[in-house]
Structure 1
Amino acid sequence: MPLHIINASGAPYDMGRAIGEAIADTVHRVTIHNEEFVETENRWTGSDYVRQMMDMTARIFPDLTRELEGMADGMGIAYERAFLWNCRGDLRWPEDISPAVAFGLTEGCTSLILPATPDQPATIAHNEDGSADYDGNCFWLVAKPDTGPAFESFLYPGMIPGHSMGANAAGLVQTINNVRVHDLKPGLPRHFICRAILSARTLDEALNLLKRPDRASGFHHNLGSAAENRLASVEAPASTCHIETITGSPSAHANHLIRPNLRDIPQTITHSSNVRQDRADQLLREADLSATTASDILFDNLPGHEILRRPKDGGDDYGQTLGTGIFELSPEEVRISVHLGPDHQNAYTSRLILEPAPVS
């Protein structure tokens, strides 16, 4: 299946409107019929919990609120409906939820950070795993906002960009892994935090967003700054933030907290997340990093230990790798390669030339 490319630019509302119009058909054909979407709407529409989050987001991130308002109008759906879908992972669900929602809440991805070697630039790489409903129905966004750096991002139909994998022209790269930590609260939705990071110009700006105490929930973030030659693996549930600077040794992360000071925080850990974490760690230990590429690891499909996810692979979370992103960081540019599987590599390639920092 092809990767659909969207070009959008302008003021927040205008850029959002262009995105929404480009994805509208897919949203109405696929997203609004997704079982998780339907149950989220049925359970949470009009709730005080969501209203608190909506009001806080409008106050803290007015430009991003306008961007999602534009997306909603372009998609032809109400703003609250679009907002609700973008805070699906921030909500406290009871135990009597459908299997589809349970799978969505424990969705899986795998990310790598490979520091530079004499033969290869520093690399951040990511398998984006999600519902099979979205296989062939996702997009790659090339955005040039009026405010903030240009950026590129994988995009689910109906969701604001940033919460999967992307990079901006300030040289920041971000990939996201879901973590299901039991510390959720009404606050800033994690999707908006991820989108705000794509507007940051330095790694410290991005990290400050992840240190905010008013976040509703959180993710694991692999972050890199090409301009600053810095790499970080950040576990950021709602209640805390742990920043691991990555220098000489490579790093892998799946979908649960693994840092010694965080891993005892109550969280849901799937068998698949443990398997992918262990397998990626093993492959990194055994690899000749001067010769091994990140895609070699992310395409690994040893039966019972699969990192590359396919339907019926036995995993107990989302079982479909929708795309693999490889981001190579150098002082002048970020090179992007997006693969749709081992047999469809380089479905999209790009060079993000670093923009000079604006004069203050």
Structure 2
Amino acid sequence: MTSAQFNGKDETLAESIGRRNSIPIIHARGTHYEIGFDIGRTFASLIQNYVKNYSPLNDVSLPLYETDAGRKVYEETLDCVREQFPQYLREIQGTADGAKVPFHKLFLMHLDEIVPSATTGSYGTTQAVGCSSIVCNQPGQEILGHTEDALGATLNHWYLVSAHVVEEGLREEKFTSLSYAGFLPGYTMGYNHHGLVYSINTLSAKKLRSGKTPRYFITRSLLGVENFVQAQKTLRNEGYGAAEGFSVNMTFLTQEGDRMFHNAEVGPVEPNATESQLSVLTASPGEQFFHCNKYLRLRVSEDDGPIIPSSEHRMAAISRHPPAKTRQDIINILGDQTDNEYRVFQEFGPDDPIKTIAVGIFDCIEKTWSIYTDNPKTNDPVVVISLQLNNNNTINVSKNPTPVIGN
């Protein structure tokens, strides 16, 4: 069977299967190129289909890439990345080779809105794409929760990458991260073996910078940090600075003393500056914070698209809940669908252009990461990952409804 009848029209089965309760995962060890290649080879079908249907690439970035102005932005940003992170370019090249897709298409996807912003002064995506994160730091309840929200085409086009990167002359990296098909790991949610637990929120600065560091590469580098000092240094990206905006919600499970959660807002490097704008908020024991897709502290001019009202609606919905004190409070908030326009768990119906594709709950006491593929208020997690730290390579898989998987 190659097609099915849906809503009075023929659609390929692959495009009409709806939300799947399935989470693919790859465990890979090797050099940056080897890990990228194995990701590409393993998920070639998902990556090819995603590249084919990813509208920001095909409708905006690729046509601009064919212009002199667009090619200039592409080349000078590629040069910036090559100077700092040639190993991550090798990862992308490996993924491109393994999946048999052109490198330039994958790199353009990593540039996100940089090309249209730097060439036309406007964003290419007009949808309210954005995530919501919330932290609860209470006695016995140290929780980071996150909705991973994306264009509807991303539904069922993501996987988990559990990687052990070993390459001569470079730092060893061990991490597990949710990754969109064809993208570097890092710009979503995950953890590393040093105890970093994190989630990312996109922030839409109005003016993006050509020839500076795309956020996907900064957050990919974040997967290798050992402590909060290194994390701040990575986010500042001294000598270059971020091309775009984003925020990171994080803690380190191996830190000494009281549990501290941090939200770091990152702004694009200002003209004539050499590092990202950075503002950090810390939640001590007994405190909470939440973050969506709007700057709350840095004074950065923002895009006037729907991501701002979407963030305001979601923040208002979160504020209507009592302060989160338990894991269940976090679940109730992340599953909230009370707003009639922009919901915390985003999905109005099968044709909604923006969807929550996954929900993650990090329990920093139990050291687990529960991942849901549907609303956590009414569904169990599809998988519970045991956060393995340092050099513990044990893989523990349970036959329970929530199998436990570690690095």
Aligned to 1:152: 176
Aligned to 1:280: 318
The reply to whether residue 294 of structure 1 matches residue 330 of structure 2 is: yes
Q: Deviation at 1:233?
A: 0.5
The reply to whether residue 325 of structure 1 matches residue 360 of structure 2 is: yes
Aligned to 2:370: 337
Distance 1:308 1:171 in 2: 27
Distance 1:203 1:356 in 2: 20
Question: Aligned in 2, Cα 1:291/1:78: closer, same or farther, shift over 3 Å?
Answer: closer
Aligned to 2:26: 6
The reply to whether residue 129 of structure 1 matches residue 164 of structure 2 is: no
Q: Is the 8 A contact 2:267 2:300 kept in 1?
A: no
Question: Aligned in 2, Cα 1:293/1:150: closer, same or farther, shift over 3 Å?
Answer: farther
Question: Aligned in 2, Cα 1:143/1:293: closer, same or farther, shift over 3 Å?
Answer: farther
Aligned to 1:107: 129
Deviations 1:243-281 (A, max 9, x none): 11121320111111012xx25634435321110012213
The reply to whether residue 18 of structure 1 matches residue 38 of structure 2 is: yes
Question: Aligned in 2, Cα 1:43/1:346: closer, same or farther, shift over 3 Å?
Answer: same
Q: Is the 8 A contact 2:161 2:176 kept in 1?
A: yes
Aligned to 1:44: 65
Q: Which 5+ residue runs of structure 1 have no aligned equivalent?
A: none
The correspondence for 1:241, drawn from 278, 281, 286, is: 278
Q: Is the 8 A contact 1:90 1:190 kept in 2?
A: no
> Any idea what SS the aligned residue of 1:251 has?
strand
Distance 1:96 1:238 in 2: 16
Q: Deviation at 1:89?
A: 3.1
The correspondence for 1:222, drawn from 249, 270, 286, is: 249
Distance 2:215 2:106 in 1: 14
Q: Is the 8 A contact 1:132 1:319 kept in 2?
A: yes
Aligned to 1:194: 219
Distance 1:119 1:346 in 2: 21
Deviations 1:305-350 (A, max 9, x none): 62110035999xx5200000111224xx731110011344211211
Question: Aligned in 2, Cα 1:75/1:181: closer, same or farther, shift over 3 Å?
Answer: same
Q: Is the 8 A contact 1:57 1:188 kept in 2?
A: yes
Which amino acid in structure 2 is aligned with residue 299 of structure 1? G
Distance 1:124 1:35 in 2: 31
The correspondence for 1:74, drawn from 76, 98, 117, is: 98
Question: Aligned in 2, Cα 1:96/1:335: closer, same or farther, shift over 3 Å?
Answer: closer
Q: Which has the larger radius of gyration?
A: 2
Distance 1:83 1:137 in 2: 18
Deviations 1:48-86 (A, max 9, x none): 111111111111012212111111111212222211111
* Residues matched between the structures, number: 343
Q: Is the 8 A contact 1:12 1:66 kept in 2?
A: yes
Aligned to 1:348: 383
